[in-house]
Structure 1
Amino acid sequence: MAQFKLDGVAIVVGATGGIGREVALTFAEAGVKGILLADLVTSAEVAEQTKFLASNPAFKCLSTRVDVTDVASVDDMVKLAVETFGRIDYCVNAFGVDVAEYVPFQQTSPEDYDRVLAINTKGPFLVTRAVGRAMLSQKPVQVDLGRLGHRDVGRGSIVNVSSAAALVAVPGKVPYVTSKHAVTGVTKAAAIDFKSACIRVNQVCPTWVRTPMFEEECRRVPQMPELLNKISPIKRPIEPDEVAAACLYLCSPSAVSVNGHTLTLDTGLLVGPTIG
């Protein structure tokens, strides 16, 4: 469908992770002109995969290192994207870390609290701030939707990949839960301040996703797969490509009216308990 094709330039931050990698591959398949892959380390493998899957014949991919907790590093990343591609149409923040150990509130390490919030909360703030500035300086664009005609899609779309822990609490993970709740604030604050410029900021909040972080959680909590089998209708963790599809929707022309929104991917778990 034309509404789910992308025809612009994307930054994927956290591009070597399970979700970030799938976002990059999905966006390449959807038709973007270019992608800047950003992470603590560069990945030639992900870059080559995006080139192989790209549906746009003019596709270009670039990989760079970024420290999302450092203002200068984030600003350099955005500057590189603008210098290379001319503009930024989509940005997906798909990075994050878990707590060092699962402990009750009163045993939480202040050092670990600072570490997790620096990455999970300050990171999205710095990236959204820098990307938003770049988007403010560029002209809105229109896309051709075929039988639907041309549609104004604004100056850009930013998506924060957060967690269902932005909506509810889980035991033993004070820094993580706090950081994800704060991402909701970053998302809504950015959305309200950028909306008059037609820049959209939304977040995706999945429950457990099949990533290295989930594998580590299963190691720490061996009963996790059995628990998911009992409480989730799909009886498995969410796949990274399913999260990427949600990010694609929020960046697509179909979501021009969606701003400051939390798209929850939870298989219905947060609706309430299942009885019987």
Structure 2
Amino acid sequence: MAFAEAGVEAVAFADVNLDSATAAATVSKAHAASPNYHTIALHIDVQIEDSVRACMEAVVRVFGRMDYCVNSAGIGVNEPMEISEASLVEFDRFYQINVRGVLLCTREASRIMKAQGRKTAQGRSGPKDAGRGAIVNVGSASSYVATPSIVQYTASKHALLGITRNAALDNSTHGIRVNAVCPSWVQTPMMARVFEATPEFEDMINRVVPLGRIAQPEEVSDLIVFLSSPKASYITGQGYIVDGGATLAIRT
């Protein structure tokens, strides 16, 4: 929705659940600032190489180019386990989606952007090179810190940051920027269900987050839009923690 509100003319929504992608695309039209706004919904399974490539190529067929790509697919922990009980099956499942999926999406977006022309943007000091595109990978505060009993999640989000940094280096000469946005707790429908089941969890978040509350979705998405835009044309290889200060210090 944030991209539509920012005035972009085209957004492709892709999800393993095509109905979800279609619903998001439909809702986004009500938020569009551009009268020329156009959107499509696509199926993607980030675990399957051919699916990722087909999805990315479909975007280019419809829109002509890919100026930005946001990789947000991921899974969370249902059953916390201490390291002594860690399941390799569960570990591999997380890596399949949270790591391999990010690698495939970043690779395919990089391949497409590398083949397209550079753009120029108008800055306050005059025209500037806006490059060939921007990629934003959605990590987590767990890309930087550890949380007890979720080694599979922590390791996968640390790996995402490594992929982001390496991709930024590899793509730097091609005018493609790659960054990561790393939020902690965000007010989503899934989080609302967690609060309903365990009200004390919301109290815990309010206590450990210095700003005293959970993040709203737009507080994450607005940063993603910025990093995707020419306004961030000199930023690459960075991970931005969006956590209300939660990782600044130990709080009990």
Q: Which residue of 2 aligns with 1:250?
A: 227
What is the 5 A alignment of 1:1-276? 25-42=1-18, 43-145=21-123, 148-215=125-192, 217-218=194-195, 222-273=199-250
Alignment gaps of 5+ in structure 2: none
**1:245–1:44 CA distance, 2 compared to 1 (3 A):** same
Instruction: Provide Cα deviations, 1:99-146, integer angstroms capped at 9, x if missing partner.
Output: 23011111122111111111111111000000100000000101235x
Higher relative contact order (CA 8 A, sep 6+): 1
- How far off its partner does 1:214 sit? 2.9
Instruction: Provide Cα deviations, 1:13-51, integer angstroms capped at 9, x if missing partner.
Output: xxxxxxxxxxxx110111212111000112332212222
Instruction: Provide Cα deviations, 1:43-86, integer angstroms capped at 9, x if missing partner.
Output: 33221222222122221100011000100000000110111111
Instruction: Provide Cα deviations, 1:134-173, integer angstroms capped at 9, x if missing partner.
Output: 000000101235x554322100000011000010000111
The normalised TM-score by structure 2 is 0.93
Distance between the aligned counterparts of 1:272 and 1:144, measured in 2?
40
Counterpart AA for 1:180: K
Distance between the aligned counterparts of 1:71 and 1:213, measured in 2?
28
Alignment gaps of 5+ in structure 1: 1-24
Distance between the aligned counterparts of 2:116 and 2:96, measured in 1?
29
Counterpart AA for 1:128: T
Q: Is contact 2:211–2:245 with CA below 8 Å preserved after alignment?
A: no
- How far off its partner does 1:94 sit? 1.5
Distance between the aligned counterparts of 1:130 and 1:214, measured in 2?
31
- How far off its partner does 1:223 sit? 2.7
Q: Is contact 1:153–1:256 with CA below 8 Å preserved after alignment?
A: yes
Structure 1 segments of 4+ aligned residues over 6 angstroms from their partners: none
Distance between the aligned counterparts of 1:200 and 1:259, measured in 2?
5
* Matched position secondary structure for 2:240: strand
- How far off its partner does 1:88 sit? 0.2
Instruction: Provide Cα deviations, 1:197-230, integer angstroms capped at 9, x if missing partner.
Output: 1100000111111124434554676532111121
Distance between the aligned counterparts of 1:233 and 1:210, measured in 2?
16
Q: Is contact 1:165–1:181 with CA below 8 Å preserved after alignment?
A: yes
* Matched position secondary structure for 1:204: strand
Distance between the aligned counterparts of 1:45 and 1:180, measured in 2?
28
Instruction: Provide Cα deviations, 1:246-270, integer angstroms capped at 9, x if missing partner.
Output: 1011112221111000111122222
Distance between the aligned counterparts of 2:121 and 2:71, measured in 1?
24
Counterpart AA for 1:108: A
* Matched position secondary structure for 1:55: coil
Q: Which residue of 2 aligns with 1:14?
A: none
- How far off its partner does 1:233 sit? 2.6
